[in-house]
Amino acid sequence: MTAEPLHLAAQPPPLVEDSDGAIRVGGSRVPLERVIFEWKAGASAEAIAESFPVLDLADIYAAIAYYLRHREEIEAYIARRDKEADQVREELEKRFPQHGLRERLLARLNR
pLDDT, residue 1, reads 67
Nearest alpha carbon to residue 64 among 43, 50, 90 = 43
Domains and CATH numbers, the chain: 15-109 (1.10.10.10)
Nearest alpha carbon to residue 60 among 38, 41, 42 = 38
- Give, for all 111 residues of the chain, the pLDDT tens digit: 678 888 899 899 999 999 999 999 999 999 999 999 999 999 999 999 999 999 999 999 999 999 999 999 999 999 999 999 999 999 998 888 888 878 888 888 887
pLDDT, residue 61, reads 98
Burial class (CB in 10 A: 0-12, 13-18, 19+), 86: exposed
pTM of the model: 0.80
pLDDT, residue 88, reads 94
Q: Across the strands, what pairs with 97?
A: none
